[in-house]
């Protein structure tokens, strides 16, 4: 933090009145709010997305019961807790448009935050409280503990195993939710809705499946417990598609707020102007009228989910891995390079679009045009390191699923094969083409590196990590494409842009031959 920022007052309920008039701020009486929503996993995305929809809704009289209480499950949430408490749970949101326009806001929909490692019973009590109608989640793909090969609950995860054996001493989101629902069941209370806001296709259905598996295992260890059956009957899990690019907060963002708000915010959020939220209208005990402030309630979210995950999220990973090896640092500079933009668009057009369902009211070509424009927003510096973080949790859903579907219908997937091969090189060498170190963050980094480093001796070694790749090792149509990509990437003085160009040229020849 700069010396100038230290001289400024801190953003809080009292200093709201000091904000310049052009800054949008809560117009509602925050002292009258109730936390009808308890949110687990208060990261940047939640504060740029769900909390913003709720903030806008709270400006409408009669919505006072839909404020948010945040929950931090991890030790690294302690600093965020301290900042939010200091700021009366207020934070600034800087919305950056592609044309350079900036919208400055203060978000007030969060009214409490509980740090679970210090207050386990307090968290359970809050979840079980009658005011809580919705428990929402942004716990990242890995937080659902889905085994990537079987699709079942990963019972070998140490935290999950602990929570199954110790229901009164939870560590995971499932452990806390199960403990609270047990209180509700035994007290004869209504169930709350569990609402995933993570980038997982069928996120509600996945949450339901994992939680029922988890509670069934807990039930098996406790006599006369039928919690899993009660949850299956009473708890609703709406599927949802969420979308807003939200880069990690930087010192530049903090300094911007200090200079333009006249107050210090130690953890502001910056995001793009685009925002989308499509929600299955399936709730256990009422819901906010988010549709009055831009969200969309539908009967089936599936086609919207698939479109977004396979195009936007997979597109991010394509740019992230290829751009990282080239030496780019952010999404916008990567996609602003016409070679990367061409490759991405070809991937979306030729390997993803044929697998997508039709969507009423959605022009796919326009949607893809908009994605490229969003990625190229020069005012959103989304780092490739963030995009590539936890790729082991993301790529099976975002990209590898597309590969499997294309192989099932004998369709070429050479563009995706190069991305997987680049992930191998990324995990093996951990440097870009200029031999600069890459910032790799992945829970499976050790395994990824171990398998990738065997590539020089065995071209297909990386694919033997079948917990991620399933049976790709046994798909000759894929292994030939992958081997070609590996040989090109590992050749002396290889150049990622030349390899992309050659792969794309061959791809177009293949497509042309198939359509004759």
Check which CATH number belongs to the domain holding 85 and give it: 3.40.50.720
Within 10 A of 5 (CB to CB), how many other CB atoms are there?
A: 17
- Pair (396, 420) in one structural domain: yes
Same domain, 336 and 277: no
| Coil, helix or strand at residue 439 | coil
Q: Judge if 262 and 338 occupy the same domain.
A: no
Instruction: Say what the pLDDT of residue 148 is.
Output: 74
Of 235, 263, 298, the residue that ends a domain is: 298
- Out of 271, 298, 325, a domain closes at 298
Same domain, 340 and 281: no
* Residue 487 and residue 413 share a domain: yes
- Do 10 and 70 fall into the same domain? yes
pLDDT at position 367: 94
Q: Is the dihedral of CA 329, 334, 337, 339 positive or negative?
A: positive
Strands (E) in 273-423, as ranges, are 276-280, 296-298
15-38 residue pLDDT tens: 999 999 999 999 999 999 999 999
Whole-number percent of the chain with pLDDT over 90: 92
Condensed to tens digits (0 to 9), the pLDDT of residues 310-322 reads 999 999 999 999 9
Mean pLDDT computed over 433-452: 96
Confidence bin at 4 (pLDDT 50/70/90): very low
| Residue 491, domain extent | 302-515
> Is it the case that residue 201 has pLDDT exceeding 90?
no
Q: Using one digit for the tens of pLDDT, what is the confidence trace for 42-51?
A: 999 999 999 9
Q: How confident is the model at residue 516 (pLDDT cuts 50, 70, 90)?
A: confident
Give the Cα-Cα-Cα angle 385, 391, 401 (nearest 5 degrees).
140
In the chain, how many domains are there?
2
Give residue-wise pLDDT tens across range 136-148: 999 998 899 998 7
Closest CA to 246 of 400, 398, 374: 374
- Indicate the residue among 276, 298, 320 that finishes a domain: 298
Task: Indicate whether 75 and 204 sit together in one domain.
Answer: yes
Q: Are residues 429 and 329 both part of a single domain? A: yes
Output the pLDDT for position 360.
Answer: 75
Looking at the structure, tell me whether residues 392 and 252 fall in a common domain.
no
pLDDT of residue 7: 54
**219 and 319 co-located in one domain:** no
Is there a single domain that holds both residue 422 and residue 498?
A: yes
Q: How far apart are CA 297 and CA 290, in angstroms?
A: 8
Q: What is the mean pLDDT of residues 263-286?
A: 97
């Amino acid at each position: 933090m700069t010396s100038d920022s230290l001289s400024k007052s801190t953003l809080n309920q009292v200093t709201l009145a000091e904000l310049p008039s052009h800054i949008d701020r809560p117009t509602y009486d925050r002292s009258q709010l109730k936390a009808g929503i308890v949110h687990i996993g208060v990261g940047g995305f939640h504060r740029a997305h769900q909390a913003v929809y709720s903030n806008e809704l709270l400006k409408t009289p009669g919505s006072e019961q839909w404020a948010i209480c945040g929950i931090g499950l991890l030790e690294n949430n302690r600093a965020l807790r301290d900042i939010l408490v200091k700021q009366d749970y207020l934070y600034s949101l800087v919305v950056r448009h592609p044309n350079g326009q900036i919208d400055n806001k203060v978000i007030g929909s969060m009214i409490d935050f509980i740090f679970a490692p210090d207050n386990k019973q307090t968290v359970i009590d809050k979840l079980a409280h009658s005011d809580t109608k919705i428990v929402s989640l942004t716990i990242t793909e890995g937080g659902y503990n889905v085994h990537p090969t079987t699709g079942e609950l990963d019972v070998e995860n140490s935290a999950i195993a602990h929570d199954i054996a110790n229901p009164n001493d939870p560590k995971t989101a499932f452990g806390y939710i199960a403990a609270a629902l047990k209180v509700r069941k035994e007290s004869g209370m209504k169930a709350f809705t569990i609402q995933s806001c993570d980038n997982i296709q069928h996120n509600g259905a996945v949450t339901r499946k994992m939680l029922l598996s988890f509670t069934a295992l807990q039930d098996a260890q406790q006599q006369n417990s039928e919690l899993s059956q009660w949850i299956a009957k009473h708890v609703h899990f709406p599927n949802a598609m969420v979308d807003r690019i939200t880069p990690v907060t930087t010192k530049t963002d903090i300094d911007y707020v200090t200079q333009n708000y006249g107050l210090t915010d130690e953890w502001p959020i910056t995001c793009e102007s685009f925002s989308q939220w499509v929600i299955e209208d399936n709730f256990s005990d009422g819901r906010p009228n988010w549709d009055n402030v831009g969200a969309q309630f539908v009967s089936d979210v599936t086609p919207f989910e698939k479109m977004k995950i396979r195009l936007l999220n997979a597109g991010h990973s394509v740019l992230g891995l290829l751009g990282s090896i080239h030496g780019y640092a952010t999404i916008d500079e990567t996609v602003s390079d016409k070679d990367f933009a061409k490759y991405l668009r070809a991937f979306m057009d030729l390997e993803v679009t044929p697998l997508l369902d039709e969507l009423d009211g959605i022009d796919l070509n326009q949607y893809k045009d908009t994605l490229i424009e969003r990625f190229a927003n020069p005012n959103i510096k989304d780092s490739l390191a963030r995009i590539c973080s936890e790729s082991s949790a993301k790529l099976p859903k975002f990209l590898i699923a597309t590969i499997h579907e294309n192989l099932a219908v004998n369709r070429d997937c050479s563009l995706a094969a190069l991305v997987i091969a680049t992930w191998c090189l990324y995990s093996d060498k951990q440097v870009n083409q200029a031999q600069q170190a890459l910032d790799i963050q992945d829970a499976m980094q050790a395994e990824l590196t171990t398998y990738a480093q065997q590539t020089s001796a065995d071209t297909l070694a990386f694919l033997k990590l079948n917990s991620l790749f399933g049976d790709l090792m046994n798909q000759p149509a894929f292994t030939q494409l992958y081997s070609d990509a590996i040989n090109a990437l590992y050749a002396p003085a290889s150049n990622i842009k030349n390899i992309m160009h050659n792969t794309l040229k061959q791809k177009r020849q293949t497509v042309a031959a198939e359509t004759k």
